[in-house]
């Protein structure tokens, strides 16, 4: 027997010894229909007694009042576990069931396990499967080798927060389980430990961890200054004094010690130091009592130890928990922990199974298509199921690529694929592209502004301009512009239906108008994004036609997606109805592109095979070459006078007063304290009535005073809407090589009045622990979102927490990239990540629900995205911030900031005000 197996045998006894001990424990949660917020109250005494093998009484805690009976594990399973094993080799892969507690970091774990296990895990949310279904896959089909329970918002004492996980931890004593954060707390809670408020909420911050050298931490250093730094996201902890005897502490950290990220990039550092278990931690039995109603009804107490539990394991079961997040980009040795858990799993089944290979053969054949068929029917339930059901249960769960499948079952899958292929290709359109290049022309004809005004005039109705007005330091390179076009041009306006009653799930009305003025309105039951997906997949084209173009937009849809379309991306409902349409797009068949790096100008036109577009190209070329750079505005603009925010308030009415906004920040802090969120991106709106305003002049003024790499001008005259955007933030880009990129901004500070002050402020932002925490949380969130649609192992962070400087502010920016999976579409990628995490907080779904209850109006276009979807499915979208929306005689500006545990309410208000200064000054200059 090898050394790792000897170490493991000292940590665990044979699981078969627990079969009678747990036989009479009927602790099972029914699927909850209502949220019950409930923590452990110290001093409670709810309990039951059961007998172990030798007849002695032992305590088993009843952690919830919702209970029902459960069939015992199959006799076949028990017999197999009790057979004396024979030596076999370890498997080439490990099959993990990953339980998602509606968290925004689950797919970071997915990405790690996909590489370490040899096959990606199967992901289900904690209420996707009933207990009977779960038992079928675990015990009858033997479909999984281990289970990982994800982090998540809330408390393990709340049935809606934890779902089926408590049942797994109590009943699946014979399957290796690793709980992360909430999963760790659930492991403690289900065995009787108390989960209480931490002395301080810690989110997105690093701590050094000491451990006892158990197998989960093999080859990982321990203790202060030895390099084992981990990222923590939690407001609740297991009270170490309530830890029952069957749970063994294996890792700790100081309750107050955190470290800045800068200077801690010592990933991979190795040390042989092993710390001994902390003998000062007392072991007390739990007297647990679970109540109902709000969590505010409970006395949480505080941890009484100066050290916080960061890891536990069960004394006889292969169950482990870690309070920190090993999947975070800033956690050192996170991958090693998952590798060690795989080794634990391998060693466990080597020790207690008669033959690893033999136990898979029958179950693989049985499981293959039956579960896949069921998941096909559930394909629309969630983005995770949509993206992974077929792969996971067709080839990933079992991962035996040499397995011969039942021919009849495979025929069913082939027919399923044929039907879907037919639907995807019916009614396709063949598009042809023609383009011309004019080298070094842009500067000669007045640059991007001169070209736009020269071609489209000052009224600029039904025009677009994706404007890289800030191109220094390689932030952006291309601008695209256009107006009402040829035979393929159309304008789309989409409005969600019945938003005000909170029942909207995405259906709405789509109005279209073509270049000839023909209009129609239809109802889209499945929503706008599914419509857009079908449209993009219906186009056929020749890639050779755009070879030589240095950019990825060759024509297609250009416009915006409003924040309320979150209901098409997993959110249950919108509380507030948007005044503006929820999405507006042009289909641009003619456009002008500018390469700012080389000063080149391109004109492009797309048409169907049977038509011709030579005339537009000829006319546009003639207009371009006639421009001499002397294009001037019809009205002479004067420089705007310096304005303070107080002077702007005369013109703008705030949706909420300073006092109300500060109170909202405090509400957010309370939610964070209770573990409901790690970070909440709170926003508000300011508005001003306007009579006569040339929106294009307003945009031109804004782009001069606040140039930005992802700026935009959009005018939809049909709905009296103009958008003047000076956004510095990219939401998501997919290039022609199928590389996805996100560039979230979190952390903002004003520029200084002098060069010395400016450098000091930049340095202050760079080393601010609060701003680092804000940024890191969103980086991990975006890694998760990309991880849902990218190839395993491809998601990475080439730039973390860089500070970029703009006209009025310094900002902290990170870059996340990954390779898109071949089986997902461009719109699938957007649905996986929308709305941008920098505008929601994390975990995303719970945070958006909370923000909907706190904010008093719809965000509308603000917090959504502007950009293009090229007909070849490349896209580039910004985050709508630093933007003026001019709609039906009103100018509105949205602003806000990320609320974290370290936030100061007064400072958060001042940061929100800072973000409004550039756009409000631009409006006040004209209005």
- The CA R_g of the chain, rounded to the nearest whole Å, is 29
Report whether 190 contacts 169 (CB < 8 A): yes
The crossing angle, in degrees rounded to 10, of helices 695-705 and 905-926 is 130
**Catalytic residue (one of 327, 535, 568, 908):** 327
Quick one: which of 876, 877, 869 has its CA closest to 533? 869
DSSP state of 787: H
- Per the annotation, the verdict on 181 as an active-site residue is yes
d(C-alpha 688, C-alpha 408), whole Å: 66
Which SS3 state, helix, strand or coil, does residue 724 take?
strand
Sign of CA dihedral 411, 415, 421, 426: positive
d(C-alpha 708, C-alpha 469), whole Å: 5
- Per the annotation, the verdict on 132 as an active-site residue is no
What residue ranges of the chain have pLDDT lower than 50? 1-10, 12-87, 263-304, 355-425, 499-504, 632-649
> Phi-psi bin for 629: left (phi > 0), alpha (psi -120 to 50), beta?
left
**Catalytic residue (one of 325, 607, 701, 925):** 325
Beta strands 210-211 and 247-254, pairing class: antiparallel
pLDDT for 475: 79
The torsion angles phi and psi of 135, rounded to 5 degrees, stand at -60, -35
pLDDT for 614: 82
Report whether 701 contacts 693 (CB < 8 A): no
**Catalytic residue (one of 135, 158, 181, 681):** 181
- Per the annotation, the verdict on 158 as an active-site residue is no
Which SS3 state, helix, strand or coil, does residue 636 take?
coil
Q: Please provide the distance, in angstroms rounded to a whole number, between the alpha carbons at the two ends of the chain.
A: 81
Domain with CATH 3.40.50.880 in the chain: 92-261+306-353
d(C-alpha 927, C-alpha 923), whole Å: 6
Architecture per CATH, 429-738+822-926: 4-Layer Sandwich (3.60)
Task: Give the residues across from 437 on adjacent strands.
Answer: 602
Q: Residue holding tokens 């109005």?
A: 511
CATH number for the domain running over 92-261+306-353: 3.40.50.880
Task: Give the residues across from 715 on adjacent strands.
Answer: 722
- Stated as kind and residue range, the H or E segment containing 168 is helix 165-171
Residue 548 has a CB neighbour count (10 Å cut-off) of 9
Report whether 843 contacts 125 (CB < 8 A): no
Per the omega criterion (within 30 degrees of 0), is the bond before 670 cis?
A: no
Residue 7 has a CB neighbour count (10 Å cut-off) of 16
Copy the structure tokens of residue 570. 């997993």
- Stated as kind and residue range, the H or E segment containing 540 is strand 539-540
**pLDDT tens-digit map of 207-255:** 999 999 999 999 999 988 888 999 999 999 999 999 999 999 999 998 6
d(C-alpha 205, C-alpha 323), whole Å: 13
Copy the structure tokens of residue 562. 């409003």
**Longest distance between any two alpha carbons in the chain, whole Å:** 98
């Amino acid at each position: 027997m090898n050394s790792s197996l000897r170490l493991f045998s000292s940590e665990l006894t044979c699981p078969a010894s627990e079969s009678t001990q747990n036989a009479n424990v009927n602790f099972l949660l029914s699927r909850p229909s209502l949220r019950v917020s409930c923590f452990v109250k110290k001093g409670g005494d709810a309990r039951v007694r059961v007998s172990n093998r030798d007849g002695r009484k032992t305590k088993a805690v009843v952690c919830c009042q919702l209970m029902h009976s459960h069939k015992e594990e199959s006799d076949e399973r028990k017999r197999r576990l009790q057979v004396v094993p024979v030596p076999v080799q370890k498997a080439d892969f490990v099959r993990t069931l990953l339980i998602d507690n509606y968290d925004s970091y689950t797919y970071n774990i997915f990405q790690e396990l996909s590489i370490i296990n040899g096959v990606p895990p199967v992901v289900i949310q904690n209420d996707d499967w009933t207990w009977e279904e779960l038992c079928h896959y675990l015990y009858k089909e033997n479909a999984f080798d281990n289970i990982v329970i994800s982090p998540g918002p809330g408390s393990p004492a709340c049935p809606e927060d934890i779902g089926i996980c408590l049942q797994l931890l109590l009943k699946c004593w014979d399957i290796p389980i690793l709980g992360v954060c909430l999963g760790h707390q659930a492991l403690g809670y289900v065995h009787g430990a108390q989960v209480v408020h931490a002395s301080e909420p810690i989110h997105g911050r690093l701590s050094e961890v000491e451990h006892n050298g158990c197998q989960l931490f093999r080859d990982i250093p321990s203790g202060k200054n030895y390099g084992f730094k981990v990222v923590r996201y939690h407001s609740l902890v297991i009270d170490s004094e309530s830890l029952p005897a069957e749970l063994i502490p294996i890792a700790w950290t100081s309750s107050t010690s955190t470290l800045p990220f800068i200077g801690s990039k010592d990933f991979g550092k190795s040390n042989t130091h092993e710390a001994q278990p902390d003998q000062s931690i007392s072991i007390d039995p739990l007297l647990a009592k679970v109540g109902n109603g709000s969590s505010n009804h409970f006395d949480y107490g505080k941890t009484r130890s100066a050290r916080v539990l960061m890891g536990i394991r069960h004394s006889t079961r292969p169950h482990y928990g870690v309070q920190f997040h090993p999947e975070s980009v800033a956690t050192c040795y996170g991958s090693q922990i998952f590798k060690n858990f795989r080794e634990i799993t391998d060693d466990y089944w080597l020790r207690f199974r008669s033959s690893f290979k033999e136990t898979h053969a029958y179950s693989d054949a049985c499981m293959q298509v039956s579960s896949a068929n069921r998941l096909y029917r559930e394909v629309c339930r969630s983005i995770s199921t949509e993206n992974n059901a077929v792969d996971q249960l067709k080839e990933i769960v079992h991962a035996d690529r040499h397995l011969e499948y039942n021919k009849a079952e495979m025929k069913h899958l082939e027919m399923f694929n044929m039907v879907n292929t037919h639907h995807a290709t019916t009614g396709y359109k063949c598009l042809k592209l023609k383009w011309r290049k004019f080298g070094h022309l842009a500067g000669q004809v007045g640059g991007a502004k001169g070209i736009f005004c020269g071609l489209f005039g000052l009224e600029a109705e039904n025009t677009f301009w994706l404007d890289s007005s800030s191109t220094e330091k390689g932030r952006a390179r291309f601008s695209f512009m256009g107006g009402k076009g040829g035979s393929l041009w159309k304008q789309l306006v989409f409005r969600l239906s019945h938003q005000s009653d909170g029942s909207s799930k995405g259906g709405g009305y789509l109005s279209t108008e073509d270049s000839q003025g023909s209009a129609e309105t239809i109802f889209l039951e499945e929503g706008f994004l599914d419509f857009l997906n079908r449209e993009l997949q219906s186009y056929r084209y020749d890639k050779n036609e755009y070879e030589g173009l240095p950019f990825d937009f060759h024509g297609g849809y250009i416009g915006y997606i409003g924040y309320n379309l979150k209901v098409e991306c997993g959110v249950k409902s919108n509380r507030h109805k948007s005044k503006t349409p929820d999405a507006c797009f042009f289909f641009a068949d003619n456009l002008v592109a500018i390469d700012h790096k080389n000063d080149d100008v391109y004109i492009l036109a797309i048409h169907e095979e049977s038509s011709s577009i030579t005339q537009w190209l000829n006319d546009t070329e003639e207009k371009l070459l006639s421009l001499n750079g002397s294009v001037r505005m019809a009205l002479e603009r004067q420089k705007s006078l310096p304005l303070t925010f107080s002077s702007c308030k005369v013109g703008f009415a705030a949706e909420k007063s300073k006092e109300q906004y500060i109170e909202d920040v405090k509400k957010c802090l309370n939610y964070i304290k209770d573990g409901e969120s790690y970070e909440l991106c709170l926003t508000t709106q300011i508005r001003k009535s306007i009579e006569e305003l040339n929106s294009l002049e307003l945009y031109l003024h804004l782009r001069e005073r606040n140039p930005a790499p992802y700026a935009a001008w959009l005018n939809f005259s049909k709905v009296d809407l103009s958008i003047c955007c000076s956004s510095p933030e990219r939401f998501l880009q997919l290039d022609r090589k199928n590389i996805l990129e996100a560039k979230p901004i979190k952390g903002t500070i004003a520029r200084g009045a002098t060069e010395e002050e400016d450098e000091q402020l930049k340095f202050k932002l760079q080393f601010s622990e609060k701003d680092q925490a804000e940024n890191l949380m969103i980086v991990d969130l975006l890694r998760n979102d990309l991880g849902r649609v990218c190839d395993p192992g491809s998601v990475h962070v080439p730039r973390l927490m860089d500070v970029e400087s703009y006209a009025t502010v310094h900002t902290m920016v990170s870059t996340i990239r990954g390779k898109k999976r071949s089986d997902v579409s461009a719109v699938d990628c957007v649905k996986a990540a929308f709305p941008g995490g920098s505008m929601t907080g994390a975990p995303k779904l719970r945070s958006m629900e909370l923000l909907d209850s706190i904010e008093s109006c719809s965000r509308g276009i603000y917090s959504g995205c502007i950009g293009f979807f090229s007909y070849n499915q490349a896209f580039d979208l910004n985050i709508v911030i630093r933007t003026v929306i001019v709609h039906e005689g009103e100018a509105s500006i949205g602003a806000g900031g990320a609320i974290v545990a370290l936030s100061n309410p007064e400072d958060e208000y001042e940061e929100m005000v800072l973000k409004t200064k550039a756009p409000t000054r631009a409006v006040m200059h004209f209005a």
